[in-house]
Chain A
Amino acid sequence: DTGVSQDPRHKITKRGQNVTFRCDPISEHNRLYWYRQTLGQGPEFLTYFQNEAQLEKSRLLSDRFSAERPKGSFSTLEIQRTEQGDSAMYLCAGVRVPGNTIYFGEGSWLTVV
């Protein structure tokens, strides 16, 4: 158990709908990352938070994507106006800086139909 929980595990949505994923790391994870993984590929970085501050966003994170981490605890990743190309697994990961091991949640599968 990595201590990182993600919800929902699976989501099927129609194109154009909005979806939101939630990540609950353990309290010691002062840094939180979001990644996206498509079939046959390794995870790709989307964004990260240091406590409640969002410090970096990948160019993969279009303006339809928004992430928050209020109070530096749980985090949400929202995708607006979903497209079929958004179908992927969205992974959340936490690390207690200055530690080096990043621990992943089980991921949230998104299928856009």
Chain B
Amino acid sequence: AQSVAQPEDQVNVAEGNPLTVKCTYSVSGNPYLFWYVQYPNRGLQFLLKYITGDNLVKGSYGFEAEFNKSQTSFHLKKPSALVSDSALYFCAVRDWDGGSQGNLIFGKGTKLSVKP
């Protein structure tokens, strides 16, 4: 079965420092990987995706993610964190094995806190 894991419940970063939010995946076949961000009491906003091609994927708001097949990881990164980046971040993989034809399977989420 497809799954993703976000090993950190919370990540704390000082404003201006680089940030990394970790994600590992387990899939059969080629992974379709996504990052979403959720602000309090809001829906999920799409940040970026990896389907195929370059392992470094650039997304919205200055975020990027690196796909690493050997380590089965898809970590989210940003060179310089902003206080406004503070939110809940979800890694997800599309499930092509089940009957839902590409439903997203989410990790538990990582709360990012950026302090001034």
Contacts and interface: CB of A to CB of B under 8 A. Distances in A.
B73 to A, nearest CB: 18
Contacts, number: 72
Nearest to A95: B102
A45 B103 contact: yes
B44 A56 contact: no
Contacts of B45: 2, 104
A107 B45 CA distance: 11
A101 interface: yes
B49 A100 contact: yes
B100 A48 contact: yes
A52 interface: no
A100 B51 contact: yes
Interface of A: 2, 4, 6, 31, 33, 35, 40-45, 48, 50, 55-56, 58, 91, 93, 95, 97, 100-107, 109
Interface of B: 32, 34, 36, 41-46, 49, 51, 90, 92, 94, 98-109
Given A48-B101, A101-B49, A102-B46, 18 more contacts: A2-B43, A2-B45, A33-B100, A40-B108, A41-B108, A41-B109, A42-B92, A45-B100, A45-B104, A45-B105, A48-B103, A56-B99, A93-B44, A100-B32, A100-B49, A104-B36, A105-B43, A107-B43
